[in-house]
Structure 1
Amino acid sequence: MQRIKQEREEILKELVKKLGYEFKNIKLLNEALTHSSYANEHKKRKIPYNERLEFLGDSVLSIVISDYLYNHLATLQEGELTKIRASIVCEPSLANCSINMQMGNYLLLGKGEEVTGGRERVSILADTFEAIIGAIYLDGGLIKVSEFILRTLHETIQDAIEGKIFKDYKTQLQEFVQSINTKKISYEVINEEGPDHNKIFYVQVKIGDEVLGEGAGKSKKEAEQNAAQKALKKVM
């Protein structure tokens, strides 16, 4: 890993206080806050960026939330547990946690991403939150990251259990289709445009072989939500 300048380390310590977790290896936190656009603008330095940590954090978040719901909602079946989990780990919920801790202020972004509002972009903030989960998991293990997740997402979890969080479009489409059809819903990336740090994804949603809608977004998740929204307008 790259060395961290003293000034940057002091800035990271501000975020550490907000996270409520003391890193043994603060370089992991710095990597979690490094966007691919920044790394691409400094290729010669071979700076590690947060996509691998995001991949790991996504899985860790899912198992921690699944474990919590399984043990605290003993009367609910798989379908209901899945819907509650989906509303907790969706992009808007995770981005909201990032906003509450002002994570956007600590991001390392490329100039292009900076000027186009990357610090406030929902997909980037949600991905950053997942990357930080991955970093805490590597630094402190499952118990510590579970404590962080359940503390940080406490209100979101309770709202989801009480049904106060609006269902995402993918979940709404899934429920509607299942009520009238047994065919499987699938999402497929049909095109990608732009450089890695500012890519646009195009996704189509299908029931069987029938295309119901298409959507675009700065992330695959965002594009899928937009495709599902258009599909809902078509079928309902």
Structure 2
Amino acid sequence: MEQLQAQLGYVFTDVTGLKLALTHRSAAGLHNERLEFLGDAVLELVVTHRLYHQFPGVDEGRLSRFRAQLVRKESLASKARELGLGRHLILGPGERQSGGWERDSILADSLEAILGAIYLEAGLQTVTELITDWFEDQFNRLDARRVIKDSKTALQEFLQAEGMPLPTYALLQTTGLGHQQRFTVTCTCQLLATPAVAEGDSIKQAEQKAAETCLA
């Protein structure tokens, strides 16, 4: 545990919290899902606060896309591997045999659980400093002048990061003839109470606009 704590940049006063954060539900007894729930919320708060102040002139849609990029499972799993988290995970026999210590979802969830445990023991200021240190390079690579992803991809990644179902698109109507056709589509997702509606010169363009509406 000492090696892992050195990698994390935080030494627990009581390692019970760290051990619980590393315990997957496949292992017998208490597991880390409650800590993961807490850590996910803490991570979102800290990242959102940092982005809000780092990009004062950027609208909420772009900030949401930046946040989704930073907190998506793949990004968290990459950080967990960098910290050497996998070899410290406490897994049930089935997960160990199937290579669960390398699975993105388990690594990302365990990292969030560790953040939850640190928050409970040391408070928001300490966990904020830790998250800022872990992700400083990623924060600095964000560029407000560029749209990193097209709107459909950005929406999909954002929903995945939030644990929501993927969006669905449907062609509502087609108007005009030949090269003057216009297409109206809907995009249904949990971000909006009613489907977003948009039109364009092609179905693809209309879908991009509808996805952008969902992110706005």
By the TM > 0.5 criterion, same fold? Answer: yes
- Give the conservation status (yes or no) of the 8 Å contact 2:118–2:127: yes
Shift of 1:166: 6.3
Counterparts of 1:167 and 1:116, CA distance in 2: 35
1:112 aligns with 94
From 145, 152, 171, the counterpart of 2:154: 171
Counterparts of 2:56 and 2:189, CA distance in 1: 28
- Give the fraction of aligned pairs with identical amino acids, expressed as a percent: 38
Confirm whether residue 71 of structure 1 aligns to residue 75 of structure 2: no
Confirm whether residue 28 of structure 1 aligns to residue 17 of structure 2: yes
2:189 aligns with 185
1:44 aligns with none
2:70 aligns with 88
Shift of 1:115: 0.8
TM-score by length of 2: 0.71
Structure possessing the higher radius of gyration over alpha carbons: 2
Counterparts of 1:85 and 1:50, CA distance in 2: 24
Counterparts of 2:18 and 2:152, CA distance in 1: 32
Compare the two structures and name the one with the higher helix fraction.
Answer: 1
Confirm whether residue 14 of structure 1 aligns to residue 3 of structure 2: yes
From 138, 147, 150, the counterpart of 2:132: 150
Structure 2 CA distance for partners of 1:37 and 1:122, relative to 1, 3 Å: same
Unaligned runs of 5+ in 2: 159-166, 170-183, 196-203, 209-216
Counterparts of 1:70 and 1:133, CA distance in 2: 21
Give a deviation string over 1:4-57, Cα, whole Å, max 9, x none. xxxxxxxx1111111111111211000000011012xxxxxxx32100000000
- Give the conservation status (yes or no) of the 8 Å contact 1:61–1:133: yes
Structure 2 CA distance for partners of 1:61 and 1:161, relative to 1, 3 Å: farther
CA-based RMSD of the aligned residues comes to 3.0
1:125 aligns with 107
Counterparts of 1:36 and 1:69, CA distance in 2: 33
From 136, 141, 152, the counterpart of 2:123: 141
Shift of 1:171: 2.2
Give a deviation string over 1:156-204, Cα, whole Å, max 9, x none. 2223446697679752559996xx64543249xxxxxxxxxxxxxxxxx
Counterparts of 2:95 and 2:139, CA distance in 1: 31
Q: Which amino acid aligns with 2:35?
A: L
- Give the conservation status (yes or no) of the 8 Å contact 2:69–2:157: no
How many residue pairs match? The answer is 173
2:181 aligns with none
Give a deviation string over 1:83-109, Cα, whole Å, max 9, x none. 000000000000000000110010000
Counterparts of 2:138 and 2:147, CA distance in 1: 9
Structure 2 CA distance for partners of 1:105 and 1:174, relative to 1, 3 Å: closer
Counterparts of 1:174 and 1:99, CA distance in 2: 21
- Give the conservation status (yes or no) of the 8 Å contact 1:57–1:135: yes
Counterparts of 2:150 and 2:36, CA distance in 1: 23
Q: Which amino acid aligns with 1:28?
A: G
Shift of 1:110: 0.5
